[in-house]
Amino acid sequence: MRDRTYAADVEPGESVTVAGWAHEIRDLGGIAFLILRDGSGRIQVKFAKEDLDASLVETGTNVTRESVVSVVGEAEAEDRAPTGVEIVPEEVEVLASAEPELPLDPSGKVDAELPTRLDNRSLDLRREEAKAVFEIRAEALRAIREFFREVGATEITTPKIVATGTEGGTELFPITYFGQEAFMNQSPQLFKQLMVASGLERVCEIGPIFRAEEHNTPRHLNEATSIDFESAFITHHEAMDVCEGTLRAAYDAVATNCGAELETLGFEAEGFALPDEGFPRLTYEEAIERANATGELTEQLVWGDDLTTDAEHALGDAIDGHYFVTDWPSDIKPFYIQDYDDDPEVSKGFDLMHPRMELVSGGQREHRYEPLVEGFEAQGLDPEAFDYYTRMFRYGMPPHAGWAYGAERLVTTMVGLANIREAVLFPRDRQRLSP
């Protein structure tokens, strides 16, 4: 719209055209107010009924909430207005009327259940709280991309339709590809490993992944956004350094650039960034010992057990922050994670944990052809089905390491969302395919 002024930019003494949604109408008898909302904020439009044309007043005060409205008028200072300025209208046009009965209240005065919000997502994102989540998400991803470039990573895009799954045949969505069986990709893992053997060496990707998991919990999704990193000639310890760096970059950027959004969600920008101290790094053995010692577990962990949800929470409460768990049992980690040569029962895999949930999975990769094939066979996978992947390991695969984490889990833990679906515009789970 030509010559449109955003609500936040309206200054007294200006002739302006504003456009947005009818957020609220207050009729006090001889005077009425229309609160108009756009992407920058809200502006008050004053209708002094005796001073204005009756048809203009009728148009501006009888409009239904959430209708799209354009207002042309003079901006005047008014201390009692929400922003210290109001508009005296000369023209009011209803560009699109909204039905009187809305499926949810964008003002936030009446709460709506999450399913109702997801069924009406565009309307839901007119709420300040919902909009703030996605502004924060966008800023976090921008900062992560910038950090990747600072550490020399090249952003790539890998296939999302594949012939075989990264971890084998489980948790896959099958599709038909010109008469052939194919699958939606679980992870860019194998492709990004192939890239570190190319001239790129250090790569990153932020893109969709698909998991046909049966979980139906507040922290699982069937379509998610994965933040991936892989680099040649680094160790798993150096990979953890890069991983921690991305989180710090994200938190710093949100603290610096999303003060209003944080305030909307009940946070203060000051002190929002992560503490200066590096994330603690516990070996798997230390982690289960500490979890058992908390006395909060329903059942004691033994070597070879995965960390249970209550163990994660117990450790998170004890550490009170992000922490890495390293040196996992080899049997728990995928075939492509390298084991220690002097202790093949222990892998060079790691996870980054938030007190609420696991965030990151990564590790040193097995770059030697023979041990890699043996790893396939040990986990019951057919190496020939992955020939496009294993072939490159015969042509000079460098030592490498990497990791991945979900953007949704990052945002969920960052701003304390109750359900991971709140961090996705249109979430996919077992019950939800549309919208």
Sign of torsion, CA 336 337 343 345? Answer: negative
- The active-site residue, picked from 409, 421, 422, 428, is 409
Q: Which of 28, 95, 30, 108 is nearest to 63 (CA)?
A: 95
Residues 6+ apart with CB under 8 A from 387: none
Give the span between the Cα atoms of 140 and 254, in whole angstroms.
6
Please list the residues that pair with 44 across neighbouring strands: 35, 86
> Which among 14, 74, 171, 213 is annotated as catalytic?
213
The secondary element (H helix, E strand) that includes residue 60 is helix 54-61
Task: Clarify whether 117 is annotated catalytic.
Answer: no
Query: Cα(189)–Cα(404) distance, rounded to whole angstroms?
Result: 9
Told to judge if 391 belongs to the known catalytic residues of this protein, a careful annotator would answer no
65 is catalytic: no
- Annotated catalytic residue within 37, 211, 354, 365: 211
Closest listed residue to residue 160, CA positions, set 181, 178, 193, 182: 182
Measured between its terminal Cα atoms, the distance across the chain in Å is 29
The question of whether 37 is a catalytic residue gets the answer no
What's the farthest any 2 CA atoms get from each other in the chain?
89
With the C-alpha atoms ordered 63, 67, 73, 76, is the resulting torsion angle positive or negative? positive
d(CA 243, CA 230): 10
219 is catalytic: yes
Burial 175-189 (b: 16+ CB within 10 A, else e): eeeeeeebbbbbbbb
Q: Which of 358, 366, 408, 422 is catalytic?
A: 358
The packing angle between helices 236-257 and 128-150, to 10°, is: 140
Of 239, 194, 207, 256, which is closest to residue 389 (Cα–Cα)?
194
Contact predicate 206/229, CB 8 Å = no
Which one from 126, 202, 220, 354 is the annotated catalytic residue?
220
Check if 211 is active-site.
yes
User: Among 37, 117, 219, 428, which one carries the catalytic annotation?
Assistant: 219
C-alpha closest to that of 316 among 325, 304, 303: 325
Q: Is 127 a catalytic residue?
A: no
Between CA 76 and CA 220 the distance in angstroms is 50
- What are the residue numbers of the active site? 211, 213, 219-220, 358, 361, 409
